[in-house]
Structure 1
Amino acid sequence: MSGNDKWHIIKKIFNEAIELEDSKRENFIEKSCEEDTYLINEVWSLIKASKHPSPIDQSIAPLTAGVFETKNLCGKKIGSYKILKEIDHGGMGTVYLAERDDGHFEQRVALKLLKNGFSTTRQIQQFVAERQILATLNHDHIARLLDGGVTEDGQPWFAMEHVEGLPIDLYCDKHRLNLKERLSLFMDVCNAVQYAHHKLIIHRDLKPSNILVTDSGSIKLLDFGIAKVLNPDELHGIRTDEITKGLMPLTPEYATPEQTLNHPITVASDIYQLGIILYELLTGKRPYKVEGRTAERIKESVCKTIPIPPSSALNTKEDLSELSHIQSEKKLEKELRGDLDAIILKTLRKEPEKRYHSVGQFTADIKRYLKEYPVKARQDSVVYRSHKFIQRNKLGVVSFSAIILMSFIYLVTVTNHSQQIETALNQAQTEAEKSEQIINYMMGMFKSGNPTENLGETVTANMLLNRGIEQADQLRDQPGIQAQMYDVIGRAYRELGEYEKAYPLLNKSLEIWKEHQPESDLTLADAYYNLGTVLHHMGDYRESDINFKKAVQIYEQKPGLESTEYASSLYAIASVRTVQRDYETAEAYHKRALKMRLQLPDEDPANIGASYEGLGVTLFQSGQPEDAMEMLQNAYNIYRDHYRRDHPETAQLLITRSRVLQHFEKTDQAEKDLKEALEIYKSVYGENHTETGVAKKALGDFYQSTGKYALAESLYQELLNSIAQTNEDSHPLKRPVLQALSRLYMETGNYQAAEPTLRKTVQLLESVLNPNHPRLSSARRELGLCLTNLGNFEDAEFQLLKSLTSIQNRSENRGYQQEEIAESLEALVELYEQWGNSEKMTTYSNHLAQLSEVN
């Protein structure tokens, strides 16, 4: 059916439907359009436009009169193009096939023009917005803007790349693509959408008809007519939310819950629509049927209908998918069940924050499925991890580290730890020694972790790792494998925050390697680095520094050797020395790490950016703010080029840079950086994500440092209310937010409010840190000062003496430790002065004087 034929049908149905009562109109349209989604949408868009013009638009001729006065433009010239024929109608514009007619060169384009009678103020703004959005996009899988302008009678138009192709669903069926081929094509779509997100543009109307595939198999993403611009300032001030305010721009079958509820639109909306498309490509059906076309009926269908798993959709025998004819329905159901079910259903969660956080995460899970790795979306179990591993390693002889790795990734997933852990352990998997015997050891451990083997017993992460330790303890006659076991389990505990459990295992691993490997072996360097990392977390900076140095010494014995691991060890020493306030040494090591990373041919630009950023922090803390700003700007340039401006790494750098700007008293720019960082995190992760909370806290800290206490307190309380909904004391932001809030109360003299927040802070720190850790010592000192001001002298004495003792018990003896001792002595002097204990006040005053003389 041609575009004109469709339009005549739409006109006829509209003219009849507009005369009917509301109660009868919906059934009439459904029946007349014979469930053709395109026809239904067009008729309803005209009815809506005719009934609800804006006050500005009411001065224009009635929409329903003008909309059908379609001019025959064939042969007419617009700009440099001659109209050949009409291609399609949309709710707002008409698309024509046109060819260049200025004698310079031949070129066919798709020329879009506002419909006659539809050139209202708002629609012109929306049309121009689409044109400007396309002008910013330059991607192989997005149709390119070629030209644009205004006709003699003032109608805006634009010409874009003419794409001859089929909608993606029809293309897949026509060319009989199998499941993996469909997934590959779909990932090209995801790449285009992700590119748009990096440009701060959300499509909002993803559906098969807006995704064409050419005969050569190339994807082209079309129609950014209702796209949302996240940062209008980057797009000539175009504010798409204001243009579409009061409207519900969506396609009902592909609408997201937040669209129907008029909630904020983020990247999660595009991910939801991509999930519907993938569901449709693999099953031939949509995840649910949208009943009716009124706003309330659409909202009810989209928000309340829970989609069944794609594999189950195949069991509804009507309308079998074309894919089920290409490969057997039974085989297709088996391939969909499990991983693909989980991946697709994660994209279709009604709550945006529970979907994938980015299109990149979505495609990464699809790639894991294709490579037979465990997918992030799926509920973890030891059996599942083991099954996926065996699928990838069908020879049956695999390394122990790979086996224990599966249980570790399981632990990490259920405790919501970062993707970096999996990367590090994948490397361990590749390098580990293969051993048939170890499979038997670990399969026994997995079996013990299976709920069917432990009826009535909840198998926890610690239980599983403890069983791994028991297995490792039995391997004294196989020291190499035993050392690997201790190393991997130790790192597992480290990433779970169980540093006291991680330390002895990593230390055992190191001792075994020292006994059985040459001192120059790189395996030893890795072991020193891993032990140094956990010691750093435990607050034992002296021993941490020693281990990092030993790792570096091994690398230094290999002339000409430069590697990512070598640079990471140098960077680690710099980080420790920065914490110890040994800025001169820290600066030297940062510069060595940076130089090496710049020379490595395949080094991740993110690592180079991290080196610039780390060096900038060290320079700033050492009193070199100008040089610090230069380094931070270098890091910013790398992140901008590597990540785009809206990437979380860029946001983190903006937070760091804001601190330097505050030093230069550029508070307006500092506040702008912090607000931009917060908006980036919101747009990428959503309102309630931990990273968004980090940015919100940084803004609160800024307000506190500039004396805007009410704004700071409001942000802190907002964060605590959000954290309270998780009911988890282990939430990574709970402790720092409590500490910041208590500091605010102390600064403003509100000691009654400060006391409970400080007590909760100390309690949280005690549960995760070494008793002598600097952060715990500092929190106790703050609590002691608060109690002193409240007149609770005995409790204040207890906290201050415990703080002082913990500092003195540390093995290192660096300058900043002496500063901590001095601060604790000053707090004790103040306590005894207020308490009226002149004897003890004199004693601690003398200690303080002696310390000053030594320094």
Structure 2
Amino acid sequence: MKPSVLVLFREALDRPVAERAAFLAQAGADAAEVALVRDLLSALTASTLKTDTDAAPLAMRRAGSEGEQIGPFTLRAPLGTGGMGTVWLAERTDEFSQRVAIKWLYASTSAQARARFARERDVLARLEHPAIARIVDGGEDQGVPWYAMEFVDGETLLTYADGARMDLRGRLQLFLQLADAVQFAHQNFIVHRDLKPSNVLVNQQGVLKLLDFGIAKLLDGSEHLTELQSPMTVAYAAPEQIRGEAITAATDVYGLGLLLFELLTGQRPYRAHSSAEMLQRITATDVPVPSRLALSDSARPPVDRRQLRGDLDVIVLKALHREPSRRYESARALADDLRRYLAHQPIHARADSVYYRAGKFLRRNAAASGVIGALAIGLLGSAGWAFQKQQEALQNAQSARASSDFLLNRLTAASPWKDGATWTVRDLLKDTAQKVGPELADQPEARISLYRTLRDALAVERPSVDALFPAEQLVKELRNRDDFQGESEALYELLRVQMHQIERLDMAEPTLLLLESRIPELDPALARKVYRSRAYFENYRGVPKAALRAWMQLLPPELQHDYRFDPNATEFNAAQDAAAVSALIDLHRQNADLRNVIELLELLEWKGRFGARDDLPQQIGIVQSLVGSVSDLLPPDQGLALAEYLAAFGAKQFGAGSAMHEYIAMNRLLPLVRAGRFAECERIISEFQRESSEFPEESQLSIRRGYTGLALVAFNEGRPDKVQKALAQLDAFVKSVPGASEVDANRIEVTWLDAWARWRLGEPEGERNFLSVMQQSKELGADYLEGIGYYELARKAFEQGDVEKATSLVNTVDPDGTFVVLNPNHPLTELRKSLGLAESSQYSDRIEALHQATRWLIDTMSQQAPEAPRSTATQSSEH
């Protein structure tokens, strides 16, 4: 049986019979799975009625009523009703005064349920612990089994902690009561396996009580329940429970981890819209780091998330590991680490080091540490740790002094009055980087600090190959220290220099491959950066399919298959990666899927309004993505007006002519092409290339994209001769710059343009070659190039007077005009008009709404940011 069917069946079975149909109708599961569950429930009901026919009237009566007598107890008020029984608040009516909770089964329940009920009574009878609700009495009433347990007048664990406004320490101390109770149960060979907030109550005195051992598992070999006989609460189930694997003490350790996660963050680690989705998340995705959990709109963190960083993150993630063998070996081990944390002692789950243990020692002895420092660390005499700490302090002081002296010496050496030398700042930085190793050979901490500073400084003024040396040296230094995390972060920064700052894909590829091999061990935030880098790398190479595979790693499953936009799912939408959503838009654009493009653009617009309203840089990035896509969907004049509106915002906020303004203004290129203003496009691209060509080795990708852009403009202009000229210039540049040919950037686009130009210029075998390149485009994931190819074949047929063939070719790739809307191109649009074929008018109202919403977002950003000061040149040009 599929796990999703099993989970749905279990959840339906736990509900009263009358409520099951409504539950299944609203479950959001596959129709075939729902039908199967209905059949299973029908078969189970028929079997139960057949074996318990005589008891059915009794079952109806056994729902209970106020004042009814059960043994020595009188029922007072219902506490809960389930699919198999009821729970009542009751009072003892003999010589004792006592309130209890009475639980009994319906008479119509199956023999298996009765066996589980009897086992629950036996389990509770064996558990005498202050934090476990104890059994008081039990028996049968008219053939129906019941038992009474102490009544806990209190609130659930989470409600109590929030209501009492408990701080971090208070929450952990309360949780330790629960961990001790679970450990006691394990010592008695019992696994609770249904740990959830409703089963953990805290009374008015702050005493915790663990309830409901109804589905507990005995570890002494006396239990032989099948998978279907083992109910669970899906949201609080361990992965092995969902997979139907062995239940052990590690299952309860996972349950404790879930409760600790929620107690500290105010949220469960996984959120989903259906049981099937929850099942998938629990069994196939990693638990988010508590201190970096994205908050839902309604959630307020009960403690400052900064307090969770470090040890508490490690403790929670170890308890919640998907593999049982990698969790804490017991509830006691989990509790021990929490107690060590509270005592500022090193926890066992964390790798030991002198620095870590030293920090914990100083936290434990804050006052004493100050006195020791003032008198003399040496007074600790034989304490070897103190001597080591003293040496570390001296080394740090020596490192800082060495760095200071070294930099002072370098500045002196660079004096313009010494030996008539004239040095620029960049010359000084480059020379300093070369001298760090030889002159600070015995100061590793100083070398690390200086290499990091010099790497960043050499990339500030402009992209520069000079930043490579300190970036590479920093990686080596951290590798020699066996600092895996530090080395990984330095590798990522080296990758940024190689791929984005000096645009050397040949250098970047091995660095990227090394980082990808480490992804399972990387911090989640760094792993996301690596996936994003792979996506950009494949984009640069012109392999869309590979790029999209990387982008998909940054998106949840819901956005990858059968996506539907839901503006009400705020906790789901607010966490999305805008760049990854933009990549998904490109995918649907290539597939001519206008509906999904619109819905994803609405998601981006929603994120711009709510998810990023207090983050101007992120909002600008989102709005740029919106303008780039929305302007394509509008008529050419409207699309150009929208792009120019954003460019005006860039000039106002960042200064006309600034790098940021020019970056934003590049959104004008495609609308200008669509409007047929080719000369302006060429001017913008040529200016971009002139700036890049000042540093050709560091800007090779930018220059290559410039030549490709000129070829694309010429293609839209219908000039194959100009396309060939631009591609010839590109080829000459690639041959002239070292490393530029190592990784074939934009290869399929360039190959397609070259094949198109040769075909249009009448070269022999031109059409056959062009058809072959169209097929290659599709295989690489650049489906839009195949679609445009069909249009070009139709345009050639139309020029030759074969209107029927031209119409047939267009209808093959774009019967309703959606492709042209999503892949706007001047010649293609003109061809459709000539053939009398209309463009798609689907979703025109939603496109216009997106247009207006995007303009509103630009206005909102203008109000958020202060106006940039105008340059002297700008001011003088106005007079």
Larger-gyration structure (1/2): 2
Scaled by the length of structure 1, the TM-score of the pair is: 0.42
Scaled by the length of structure 2, the TM-score of the pair is: 0.41
* Bigger relative contact order, structure 1 or 2 (CA pairs below 8 A, ≥6 apart): 2
